[in-house]
Amino acid sequence: MINVDTELRNQLIKIAKEKIPDVDASHDFEHALRVLTNAQNIVKGEGGDLDVIVPAALFHDLVVYQKNHPEKHKSQEESAEEAQKILNSLEGFPKQKIEEVKNCILECSFSKSIQPKTLESKIIQDSDGLEATGAISIMRTFSSTGQMKRAFYNSNDPFCENREVDALTFGLDLFFERLLMVADRMHTKTARKIAERRTEFLKVFLEELKIELEGK
């Protein structure tokens, strides 16, 4: 494991805070910091090059489109290009690792189901994926639900028991399309263990929600 220089790390955090747009609470600077924390925790158990992992975690959402924006599929590519420009401008960053950082960002997307090729890329995808389960995923889901102006749930069948999942129309449907599936899609043992614990919390939340919606 290679430790990124503390001064450089702080500089990267400062840049991320300045550059990440404040248009979506689900993909803001605080999200980037949480992904970084996730990544650092995974590295403790799995190893990995922090010179690559730290900037990839901080810069993976430099370009943010809302969930229902027609250009949303371009966000990873544009974020990777912006990250390259930033890292090329920093004297203290090892230039030979910029392509690895770009690769991690390009392979980061959970929704695109990309199979990461390197340990560092697996860690970044897992770290971002952990944001899609547990307590924080509930907050992020309904933040996006408000932005997209979709309903909280389908009042006739909130838990998708007798219908197809439709996460573009109902916020709660995202649980059954993504949030409950995260643990199975983790690439590292460390991340899978974290995701499994967070998934149990989601199940408790759904049980309580069902009780409340049934008026019991």
Question: What pLDDT was estimated at residue 1?
Answer: 45
Question: What pLDDT was estimated at residue 74?
Answer: 77
Token pair for residue 11?
Answer: 């500089």
**CATH number of the domain residue 59 falls in:** 1.10.3210.50
Query: For the whole prediction, is pTM greater than 0.85?
Result: yes
Question: What pLDDT was estimated at residue 207?
Answer: 98
Asked if residue 179 is part of any domain, the answer here is yes
Token pair for residue 142?
Answer: 């309904």
Asked if residue 1 is part of any domain, the answer here is no
pLDDT along the chain (216 residues), means of 10: 74 96 89 97 96 97 74 82 96 93 91 87 97 97 92 97 96 97 97 98 98 90
Cβ-based neighbours of 162, under 8 Å, separated by 6 or more: none
For the chain, the domain total comes to 1
Burial of 112 (0-12, 13-18, 19+ CB in 10 A): exposed
CB 79 within 8 A of CB 61: yes
The rounded distance, in Å, linking the Cα atoms of 208 and 203 is 9
Domain that holds residue 173: 6-213
Token pair for residue 3?
Answer: 């430790």
SS3 state of residue 170: strand
Running DSSP on this structure, what letter comes out for residue 121?
H
Asked if residue 52 is part of any domain, the answer here is yes
